[in-house]
Structure 1
């Protein structure tokens, strides 16, 4: 790998930008395609598919054997609310390969005993995001039912282009959230990105079942996101 390519790859990693290193196995040459440049590459469709699956591999095209090595930032799930759903969701998400952060300023709920081994932030969401910004490889899950705590997380996620934004709540709760977000300047298209009711509709009833529905929804959004927009944005596909 040339030094310039290595530098570009390291820059993509620092910027949490997905990339694919395309190597011609016979010629010994390679070039790097970052996710914001997919559309400009002749292997755009193949690279896009690799960025979605995260799987590296060999392809044969035009008589050449090419190895596509995929580099993706570790995806993460940020949960607003140290509640029973979060207790079930956190270990399942970690087993699925997500870095998990739980945020809740309420000390009665956010205790190390309830979230052993999990990145637990007993702070207000705004305070956390000042030092840990969200990005396109982040999923936001808001489950406190308290707008003072949930809304800052939802707003930050929409602004950052997170691949998933979900919020717990009834139709009445959702309607009030839409009113608040509209008043905050968000348009209907942006607000529609919020998964609410949160999670896939599997008839979940218990906190653990709701956690399963949420995690499945997050994984589906990660694997079906739009890749390669000129702006580099990621939005969940319908």
Structure 2
């Protein structure tokens, strides 16, 4: 959905099979400038390469990877908004971990929005979640 907007879109994944031409071929008609980053060991390294003001959505397949990305995003200066996909329960656990293990204060942790998306769009299907998250991001960027 975001690939059809005039923006720079950075896709980072630790799994090479998620970044193949076969999977990303659907982006052939993209308007966005798409940058693909395969980071098998440390996907959070991509954060330091992003342009200032970049909005980050953390939506991985793995809670440990999500946690590492949240911690790294809070330590990366110059980012725009930071969003984390997940339930309110997941975010409660992550907040506690970011404070106790990461050493982040509450104000810093509050830079992350979770759950992400438009609250009134409640479907659990991947396409519904994608639409909700994309619409919420576009709305927040347009109002900034």
Matched, 1:187 2:105: yes
What is the distance in 1 between the residues matched to 2:91 and 2:85? Answer: 8
Q: Which residue is 2:84 aligned to?
A: 167
Equivalent residue of 2:134, what SS? helix
Structure 1 residue ranges, 4+ long, deviating more than 6 angstroms after superposition: none
Q: CA deviation at 1:134?
A: 4.7
What is the distance in 1 between the residues matched to 2:45 and 2:80? Answer: 22
Q: CA deviation at 1:167?
A: 0.8
Taking only aligned residues, the RMSD between alpha carbons, in angstroms, comes to: 2.2
Aligned 8 A contact 2:47 2:73 in 1 = no
Structure 1: 5+ residue stretches without partners:
1-91, 226-238
Which residue of 73, 95, 98 corresponds with 1:178?
95
Equivalent residue of 1:114, what SS? helix
Q: How many residues align?
A: 132
**TM-score normalised per structure 2:** 0.76
What is the distance in 1 between the residues matched to 2:5 and 2:108? Answer: 28
**TM-score normalised per structure 1:** 0.49
Structure 2: 5+ residue stretches without partners:
28-33
Which structure has the highest helix share of the two?
2
Which structure has the highest strand share of the two?
1
What is the distance in 1 between the residues matched to 2:141 and 2:65? Answer: 25
